[in-house]
Chain A
Amino acid sequence: MSLFTHYPTLTVKEYAVILDITTADAQAALEKLYKEGKLDKKTIKNGSIYIKK
């Protein structure tokens, strides 16, 4: 979550590159935070962006 202190919005790819993890792992981590109600999400046809609440 603390990455969102620095960047209020992050894409899956950004999260993955910044943390040196796979996009699959980044997607899973962000979805978990979203489902826990800690993030908002905007989804378009080519991907999503996660937004600090």
Chain B
Amino acid sequence: MKVLYVVLMMVACLGCHGQTKTKMNDTHTNPLLCDTTTGTCDVPGQTTAGTNQVIPQGKKPVTIVYYTDPICSSCWGIEPQLRKLKLEYGAYIDIDYRMGGLLPDWSYNSGGISKPSDVAHHWDDVSKHYEMPIDGDVWLEDPLDSSYPLCIAMKAAQIQDKDKAIKYMRIMRERLYLDKKNMAKWDNLADAAVAAGLDVTKLKKDFDADARKLFQDDLDYARKLGVRGFPTMFFSDGEGQQLMVYGSKPFSSYENALLAIYPDAKKNLLTMQTQCPCLPITQRLR
């Protein structure tokens, strides 16, 4: 089966890298920082090979497999584009949220980054670059040991309700980036789950069991797809046509990828006047 495969390299990259604990120890690469001088965020030893994997078709014409992590600041940076994509083309796309495991732990020392406090200034810079509010002081005041609890909590939420899970991740991010909450702590994850309308008792049960397996499945699938950083989106029609958009890109890059896969997609025009009264209440997006 012919697979169309395009890599759109980052131009102004502030993307994030995810890797398994083994890979992290092998490469000594800091996953929370990127090389802004080269504009790329390649993980040593990772290639883009492996994308001959065909992504199965969803219920809508285009499936987007979105590799992210709740603490990926570049993923926070593309929230505007992603939200616009959902509003304008939501009728044509299913987004499959996959967790990348950006920060297994702090067992490395490279690139001037050896401890959580080193990330604080970087996040402030990222905030200015993307014009999205981030307070990096969380890394000074109550730093996260790992992003794994957030990733596993997201998988546990998906077991309950995929729409609520999307809302959950948004709340996690707002509390991390704006409220400086250490979202790796269970109490904070539980509070956010309540705000997202999730059943916290079930979330905890799934967090301790099935969600860990689902998270590992995401990590394994990432390797098969050749994911080497975040955000990474694979646009697929389920029949062999696939496009990958890697890193933070302008909205047009995501739109063009979608239209290349499904040219019949028609945009829901949004203006200051209409502000999209077009979607029924059942299609509310988070």
Contact = CB atoms under 8 A, between A and B. Distances in A.
Contact of B83 (A1, A7, A12, A21): A7
Interface in B16-49: none
Contacts of A23: 131
Interface string B120-141: 0000100110111111000000
Given A19-B271, A46-B135, A13 B80 contact: yes
A42 interface: yes
B174 interface: yes
A36 B134 CA distance: 26
Interface class of chain A by DSSP: mixed
A47 B270 contact: no
A5 B276 CA distance: 10
Contact-residue size bin, chain A (C-beta under 8 Å from the other chain) = 20 to 34
Interface in B57-93: 79-81, 83-84, 87
Contacts of B87: 6, 18
Contacts, number: 76
Interface class of chain B by DSSP: loop
A16 B132 CA distance: 11
B276 A2 contact: yes
Contact-residue size bin, chain B (C-beta under 8 Å from the other chain) = 20 to 34
B132 A7 contact: no
A43 to B, nearest CB: 8
Interface in B249-286: 251, 270-272, 274-277, 279, 281, 284-286
Nearest to A21: B272
* Max count, chain A CB within 10 A of own CB: residue among B134, B178, B251, B276: B178
Given A2-B277, A19-B271, A19-B272, A49 B178 contact: yes
13 contacts: A2-B275, A3-B270, A6-B285, A7-B285, A14-B132, A17-B80, A20-B270, A46-B124, A46-B127, A46-B128, A46-B133, A46-B134, A49-B178
Interface of A: 1-3, 5-9, 11-14, 16-21, 23, 29, 42, 44-49
Given A5-B281, A47-B127, 14 more contacts: A2-B274, A6-B276, A6-B284, A6-B285, A11-B80, A11-B133, A13-B131, A17-B83, A18-B87, A20-B271, A46-B134, A47-B133, A49-B133, A49-B174
